[in-house]
Amino acid sequence: MAVPNDRKYLKSHEWFKVEGRSVTIGITKFAADELTDITYVQLPAVGKRVTAGQSFGEVESVKATSELYSALDGTVTAVNTALADAPELVNQDAFERGWMIRIECDNLGPLEGLMDGPAYDRATG
Amino acid sequence: MQQTRLHAVHVELDGRMVDFAGWEMPLLYRGIVEEHVHTRTAASFFDVSHMGRIAFRGADAAAFLDRICTRRIGDMAVGVSRYGHVCRDDGGILDDVIISRDEDHHLMVCNASNREKLLGWFAERRSGAVEWEDRTLETAMLAVQGPSAIPILEQLLPLKLADLKRYHFRSISMLGQTAWFFRSGYTGEDGVEVIAPAQFAEIAARTLMERSQALGTPILPAGLGARDTLRLEAGMPLYGHELDESIDSISAGQGWAVDLTKDFIGAAAMRRVQEAGPRRKMIGMEIDGRRVARQGAEIRADGATIGVVTSGAPSPTLGRVIAMGFVDATRAEPGSRVEIDLRGSSVTATLCKLPFYKRGK
């Protein structure tokens, strides 16, 4: 399974894709596979603040509950509402249709310390 | 890590292998929910070879088993199985087991995680003419479960199964090798659990898949993940969750598996619990919303802690989140509303009777 190299990765398996000051966040295919069938994704509402290093939501699967972490401070500008009825999108297409939130950030600096695609691939291989 | 004789089959079927009680076992193949649903609507096979299989022989075998098991063993006819617990003096549950009586021995099936512990515990309490042999590695065990399990197996085997009563077994022998078919399971579905010489496991699993496919009703592999959600819907306890050494069989809501009219290790303690009335009760919970309450989550009512969740998962059959747990006996009324603590926040739930799922007759 190819890990896209157009974004950055946390060790806790979240991905961060930058477009200007806007950053889209999701979890990796590896994480989704590990969790098994995802049944619910709890996400913050638009307008909420997320904080670097802190949990902004959680993913429920048949097997486990897992927290979602942000690498950045920011304000939520969009939430993938499709996940409310179809959380399985995260299993099916973790890097695209299974995205979770989009945030607006002032400081993208912390992303420099994150893994790129090949590094994440090696870390989870 | 120990591998079962079906390891090559699991890998070939793309099973995701995990460590379970020191055994490398498939958590899932195609997906937990898909395997769960296939078991409820057709049939699945589960490799349960990791479970312990111990054969007891000798003139005093039945008496020994009667002393270490909560159920009566001495009066069992050949061909009968019985579920029971092995307990400490204080009633704490060491394991839950199924004991079956064959012509020349009694067979105990125990949990993989407790096998070594039980063998040590038996050795310390040996008395009279009894010997046992750990047959776990030389045999394999396969559970075939689901509405199409019996009809398909009857087409593939020179053996009648439809008339075999629940918790009874039958064996077939050929060239000195025997396979046992037990009408039991851990899914809430009809089916059998099969014990056979280890070298037959792979050919049996492959033949079962190929021939059931050809008959138009595929029996597909299912892993430990589906086994857990299936047993939870069926309200069946799992050692390490609902049962452990800190609780006795009566308090664990398993009084049906205890015969207090006979003597056994732990009986005195359990008689006291029975007389005083158990302080906790095992109950089901239907949880509002889609967050999952898992083992260890506290159950509250009116601001007070009244119990703890022992197992929880989204139920594929019910389409909602369910859980099992223990609550104070005085607060266990089905229909009662409770709160369950989830890492700082909480969810609401309604207490309900077990099981969550019962198959149609």
Contact (CB, 8 A) for B293 and B342: yes
The token pair at B245 is 């050494």
How many CB pairs below 8 A link A and B? 36
Interface list for chain B against chain A, based on CB atoms closer than 8 Å: 16, 27-28, 31-33, 225, 229, 290-292, 294, 313-314, 316
CB of A63 less than 8 A from some CB of B: yes
- Pick from B16, B225, B291: which is nearest to A62 by CB? B225
- Pick from B32, B225, B294: which is nearest to A65 by CB? B294
Contact (CB, 8 A) for B192 and B182: yes
Task: Check residue B282 and give its pLDDT.
Answer: 95
CB of A85 less than 8 A from some CB of B: no
CB of A60 less than 8 A from some CB of B: yes
Residue B36: exposed, middle, or buried by beta-carbon count in 10 A (0-12, 13-18, 19+)? buried
DSSP output for B8-33: HHHHHTT-EEEEETTEEEEEESS-HH
Which residues in chain B are contacts of A62 at CB distance < 8 A?
32-33, 225, 229, 313-314, 316
- Rounded to 5°, the CA angle A47-A49-A50 comes to 130
- Pick from A60, A62, A63: which is nearest to B291 by CB? A60
The token pair at B84 is 């029971």
Nearest by Cα to B135 from B67, B195, B68? B195
Does residue A122 register a pLDDT over 80? Answer: yes
Does residue A2 register a pLDDT over 90? Answer: no
pTM: predicted TM-score of the whole model, two decimal places = 0.94
Does residue A1 register a pLDDT over 80? Answer: no
Residue B127 to chain A, least CA–CA distance (Å) = 44
For the four alpha carbons of A94, A95, A97 and A100, in that order, the dihedral sign comes to positive
Task: Check residue B361 and give its pLDDT.
Answer: 67
Which residues in chain B are contacts of A1 at CB distance < 8 A?
none
Task: Check residue B12 and give its pLDDT.
Answer: 98
- Rounded to 5°, the CA angle A67-A71-A75 comes to 90
In whole angstroms, what is the distance from residue B313 CA to residue A64 CA?
Answer: 9
Task: Check residue B109 and give its pLDDT.
Answer: 98
Interface of A with B in 14-53 (CB under 8 A): 33, 36-37, 39-40, 42
Encode pLDDT of B295-339 as tens digits: 999 999 999 999 999 999 999 999 999 999 999 999 999 999 999
For the four alpha carbons of B259, B261, B265 and B271, in that order, the dihedral sign comes to positive
DSSP H/E element including A60: strand A55-61
Which residues in chain B are contacts of A63 at CB distance < 8 A?
27, 32, 225
Rounded to the nearest integer, the mean pLDDT of chain A is: 95
- Pick from B31, B291, B294: which is nearest to A36 by CB? B31
The token pair at A97 is 């249709």
Residue B321 to chain A, least CA–CA distance (Å) = 10
Contact (CB, 8 A) for A23 and A16: yes
Task: Check residue A106 and give its pLDDT.
Answer: 86
Which residues in chain A are contacts of B322 at CB distance < 8 A?
none
Rounded average pLDDT per 10-residue block, chain B, 361 residues: 97 97 97 97 98 98 98 97 98 98 97 98 96 98 98 95 97 94 98 97 96 97 98 98 97 95 97 94 96 96 96 96 97 98 92 96 67
- Rounded to 5°, the CA angle B320-B323-B327 comes to 140
Task: Name the residue of chain B whose CA is nearest to A57's CA.
Answer: B291
Which residues in chain A are contacts of B291 at CB distance < 8 A?
40, 42, 58, 60, 65
User: At B225, is the secondary structure helix, strand, or coil?
Assistant: helix
Does residue A34 register a pLDDT over 80? Answer: yes
Task: Check residue B145 and give its pLDDT.
Answer: 98
